[in-house]
Amino acid sequence: MRWAEISVEAGADATDAVGNCFNEVGCGGFVVQDTHIPPQVVGYLPVDDRIEDRLSTLTASLEALASFGVENAGTEITIKYVQEDDWANAWKAYFKPIPIGRRLIVTPPWEDPDLSDGRIPIVVDPGMAFGTGSHPTTQLCLAALEDYVQPGATVADIGTGSGILAIAASKLGAGSVAANDIDSLAVKIAAENAAVNGAAIEFGVELPSGQYDLVVANILADVIIGLSEEIAERVKPEGVFIASGIIDTRETDVRMAVETEGFSPLETRRQGDWVALIFRRSTV
């Protein structure tokens, strides 16, 4: 079978939205080439009798992003055709083990990372769910989890995607971990990734119930703002909330929304244009 390798240029703050357009037409995942200036979002579609309709739908979806307030999303599609073996090798070539923080290393299942320095492997099969360890917001959250997950802590991961943060929390010593995603397919993939890692995690499409020592949400700024009250209800007094997926131009908006719900800032971490905000909930 032949495959169409499709690439679209997009600003750093628009790659996730563009990638979602790829997923909606059935690309089965996407990668972001950060080394390309501007970044490129790349996905693959089988060349069959549906390819023309899918490409038309993709073009229309990209053009519609501007109406949803997404800036810097390209609409120009570049296509290259490859054979089955070339597609498989090209896809895997994008994903290599990524050391993150002091203790973690994220790796696809076909790699054999060097663990001689005592790093903890997080095995994630790149698929249709966001979270392969390559995006700055994922790296910011993973490094923060290293510092804030206490042995035996209860942790909730809101908008889990591939499950990478929930898996990391479990492997860092959390006593119990719950995670959700509104996309049922992402929940399925996350559960499969958790099983490969031997991590016992409770997954679902609804927000986790109860209260937790630590809540992490690596999602869009507007979603964090909209969920800020519900997130506050799920963080124990003196508990920690790690918020990321935030482009720096939205930092103030997210900070104000979260602090209104009774959180105090602990620290701010940055990587490129992306921000992770870490808060502690008050005892009142």
Question: What does the chain come to in residues?
Answer: 284
89 is in an annotated binding site: no
Closest CA to 269 of 100, 104, 101, 140: 140
**Is 159 annotated to bind ligand?**
yes
> Following CA atoms 225, 242, 136, 64 in sequence, which dihedral angle do they give, to the nearest 10 degrees?
-20
3-state SS, residue 89: helix
Which is it for the CA torsion 74, 77, 78, 82, positive or negative?
positive
Strand locations in 63-201 (E): 73-83, 98-100, 104-107, 120-123, 154-158, 176-180
Q: What is the DSSP letter of 70?
A: -
Residue 278 has which token pair? 């870490």
CB 104, CB 197: distance < 8 Å: no
The reply, when asked if residue 181 is annotated as ligand binding, is: yes
Phi, psi of 21 (to 5 degrees): -60, -40
Binding residues: 138, 159, 181, 218
Binding residues for S-adenosyl-L-methionine: 138, 159, 181, 218
